[in-house]
Amino acid sequence: MTAESSFSLLGILTAQDISFVHTFEHPGMSEFIDASAGGVMVMGGIIVIALLTYYRGWHALWCDWLTSVDHKKVGIMYIVVAFVMLARAIIEGVLMRYQQSIAVNDPGILSPDHFGQLFSTHGSIMIFFVAMPFVTGMMNYIMPQQIGARDVSFPLLNAISLWLTAAGAALVMISLVVGKFSTGGWTAYPPYTGIEFSPGEGVDYWIWSISLASIGSTLTGLNFATTIYKNRAPGMTLFRMPLFCWTSLCTSILMIFAMAPLTIATLMLALDRYAGFHFFTNDLGGNMMNYANLFWLFGHPEVYILILPAFGVFSEVISTFSGKTIYGYKSLVIATMSIAVLSFTVWLHHFFTMGQGANVNVIFGIATMLIGVPTGVKVYDWLLTMVRGRIRLTTAMLFSVMFLVTFVIGGLTGVILANPPVDFAVHNSLFLVAHFHNMVIPGVLFGMIAGYQFWFPKAFGFRLAERWGKVSFWCWSFGFYLTFMPLYVLGLMGAMRRTVEWFRPEYLGWLQVSFVGALLLFSGFLFLCVQLVVSIRQRDQRRVPAGDPWDGRSLEWSNSSPPPEYNFAVIPDVTGQDAFTRIKQQGQAYASPIAYEDIVVPKNSIVAPVIGIAAIMFGFALVWHIWWLVVFSFVCMWGAVIARSFVTETERVIPASKVRADHEAWLQQVRECATTPREQENTSVNVGRAEVLT
């Protein structure tokens, strides 16, 4: 070809990279599944666009949501992203379990390459685009309200974090249709992911989607840490904060320190691949172990970034549904902080078998086992909170109790794995896969679902249908045990992870049980969707305008459901722990404040969507070597930031009279509401005003 072909408007992108075209030219079962997945995604997109157009929703979507910098809306958008990505990643999980359950002495339905993409996207999505946005969204929505703040410290930065994360998620979705994703697993170890062994675009998709998400998370961390340190209501000292705020603080600190190693590791991998550097190559002084260290220097704190907010949710849920103050508040705070610190001292246990001396392994093994101690403290505190409480087994509470049981089992297998000699025997086997799913499903997912059930009425003003929630709960629970307990057995029998085809017939039964479990897990997800639809349809009988459906203990329950955009008409004065319970017991709840003031709230901004869309283009252009678009989108991103710095009118004022009118109207409504005894909290009697027992 001539020199013209070296510069192409679309870089190295060709028609054959579109999965539909590829499937048409090379038909096969595996390709057909790939194209169907792409087709479902494209159809989903078209349906959403059609519905928005039919219901004339574009204006509302843009003005009320996409350009909003309100922490509550940003939080909800994070959780929407998490749910969409969860749908994809869970289907991938089921597909992998199906492949393995039929692939004993048989190639099954998936090609090895496709299977490799599946376990890579499943892991990357679940960690970076399900767990992270779910956790971040939950903190976004709840934490500022719990500390009595009107917003986070940097609302626009918060929206930018959301858009960067969403841009990363979008890149992973685009890889379904345009080109292929990495086959290097969610950890993307070089040298396999180096250019020599993975020459295609797949690893580049991984690099840029993860990089965008990691920068978004760094910004989230510093934003939330600043909010908690500087934006608390008067009287809300650190040791009066609800535990969810403490866990949010620890998570934010971990984000500030732990995301940088990931950003650097992906940047170095990119330099190796794009510019021929030698960070992780086999030759010329590259050292793959540096990647392993950097990745897990991020990767292990990441586990706690995800799990700590869930611990916070469990603390709130268990305390509220036991009708008691949390047991051992200070010990829980200290345990949380200890876990945060210890999480930086154990990264090496992810690669015991990769060549350190025995003594180094022993130190990290002991440090790993140590983490069990503060975690144990927490488990006992939660148990003792329930002792002699008036426990109500709502869906959120059921998930919390199931978490306690299941998480302890996972923790015990973790202590087994922390033993370097044992780890040598079972590392990289399905035993390990079972272990970390045993931590992350109860520890993160159950926590997030519990939080979703718990705070949904706060966010949308009506309760979710308990019956469907409980059906979903049993599916998740049985599904979890059926799917992952067999994997422990298989691991001990010698089955390795990420295997596309087996040659040992004795695996068959266990793999089939596991597949049935995966179907149950998927139905658990479907029932959550059913619950949402049913609840929306019955929303008029489920409304809780008074805002306190569960006899809540912290400040977010003291305002209306959904809360006004400024959260608090008057910033509350906090006198102790369980701030709202105190106010209720002193009979001061729903009292009219003496005076109102003007409230300043940030205006909507198009900067965040501009940066997000430019970030998608930036990542896509880098993957496909479309250099003009790289430059253009980079300039767009920074241009938006600089242009924004010339905008002086970034805030608007809600006059005191308006605040007064809205707040007094709501107070009047609350005073007319009947109080709900706890026995009736799941009936239509519950309009969100709790009966106060003194």
Partner 1 sequence: MKRQPLLHPGLNLGSTDEYSHDVSEPIIFGFWVFLMADLVLFAILFATYASMSVQGQAGGPTPIDVFDLPSAFIETMLLLTSSITFGMASLALKYKADSLHLVFWLVLTFCLGAGFIGMELRDFWVMIQQGAVPQRSGFLSSFFLLVATHGIHVTAGLFWMLVLLLQLRVFGRTTEVKLRLMRLALFWHMLDIVWVCIFTFVYLFGVAQ
Residues that bind partner 1 (CB under 8 A): 153-154, 218, 221-223, 225-227, 229-231, 256-257, 259-261, 263-264, 267-268, 271, 275-279, 283-287, 290, 294, 297, 642, 645-646, 648
CA-to-CA distance for 80 and 136, rounded, in angstroms?
12
Contact yes or no for 510/469 (Cβ under 8 A):
no
HEC per residue, 570-637: CCCCCCCCCHHHHHHHCCCCCCCCCCCCCEEEECCCCHHHHHHHHHHHHHHHHHCCCHHHHHHHHHHH
At closest approach, how far in Å is the CB of 254 from partner 1? 11
CB-wise, 293 or 514, nearer to partner 1?
Answer: 293
Q: How far is the CB of 518 from partner 1 (least distance, A)?
A: 38
For residues 116 and 179, the answer to whether their CB atoms sit within 8 Å is no
Query: Is residue 120 a contact partner of residue 183, using CB atoms and an 8 Å limit?
Result: yes
Instruction: Give the residue with the Cβ less far from partner 1, 264 or 404.
Output: 264
Give the nearer residue to partner 1 in terms of CB position, either 4 or 283. Answer: 283
Q: Percent helix, strand, coil in the chain (nearest 5)?
A: 70, 5, 30
- Complex with partner 1: residue 267 or 654, whichever CB lies closer: 267
Q: How far is the CB of 691 from partner 1 (least distance, A)?
A: 39
Contact 476/548 with Cβ under 8 angstroms? no
Nearest-approach distance from CB 333 to partner 1, in angstroms: 21
Choose between 221 and 411: whose C-beta lies nearer to partner 1. 221
Between residues 218 and 686, which has the closer beta carbon with respect to partner 1? Answer: 218
Cβ closest to partner 1, residue 582 vs residue 644: 644
Q: Measured on CA atoms in the order 618, 619, 620, 625, is the torsion positive or negative?
A: positive
- Nearest by Cα to 157 from 207, 221, 214, 210: 221
Q: Beta strand 599-602 with 651-654: parallel, antiparallel or unpaired?
A: antiparallel
Burial call 501-515: b when 16+ CB within 10 Å, e when fewer: bbeeeebbebbbbbb
What does DSSP assign to residue 545?
Answer: T
To partner 1, the closest distance from the beta carbon of 599 in angstroms equals: 14
The rounded distance, in Å, linking the Cα atoms of 434 and 483 is 9
Q: Which amino acid is at 373?
A: V
CB under 8 Å to 158, separation ≥6 — which residues?
Answer: 69, 71, 74, 140, 152, 220, 223
Identify which of residues 264 and 384 has a Cβ nearer to partner 1 in the complex.
264
Closest contact distance (angstroms) between CB of 278 and partner 1 is 5
Q: Closest separation between CB of residue 46 and partner 1, Å?
A: 40
Determine if residue 213 is left, alpha or beta; phi over 0 gives left, psi from -120 to 50 gives alpha, anything else beta: alpha
| Tokens representing residue 415 in the block | 């202590």
For partner 1, the closer CB: 295 or 480: 295
- CB of residue 499 vs partner 1: minimum separation in angstroms? 33
Q: Which is nearer to partner 1, 194 or 414 (CB)?
A: 194
Q: How far is the CB of 334 from partner 1 (least distance, A)?
A: 23
Token pair 């999480």 is at which residue? Answer: 343
Which of 26, 46, 120 has the alpha carbon at shortest distance from 35? 26
d(C-alpha 293, C-alpha 297), whole Å: 6
Work out how close the CB of 576 gets to partner 1 at its nearest, in angstroms, rounded to a whole number.
Answer: 25
Tell me whether residue 189 or residue 257 sits nearer to partner 1 (CB atom): 257
Contact 324, 381 (CB under 8 A): no
Can you give the length of the chain in residues?
694
| Residue whose CB is less far from partner 1, 264 or 425 | 264
For 256, the token pair is 């500030």
Q: Which two tokens mark 268? A: 């170095």
- The position carrying tokens 């059921």 is 398
Instruction: Give the three-class secondary structure for 676.
Output: strand
Minimum Å distance from CB 259 to partner 1? 8
Nearer to partner 1, 157 or 433 (CB): 157
CB of 245 to partner 1, least distance (A): 16
Residue found by looking up tokens 């990647």 in the block: 291
Residue 511 · residue 490 · CB < 8 Å: yes
Q: Minimum distance from CB of 572 to partner 1 (Å)? A: 18
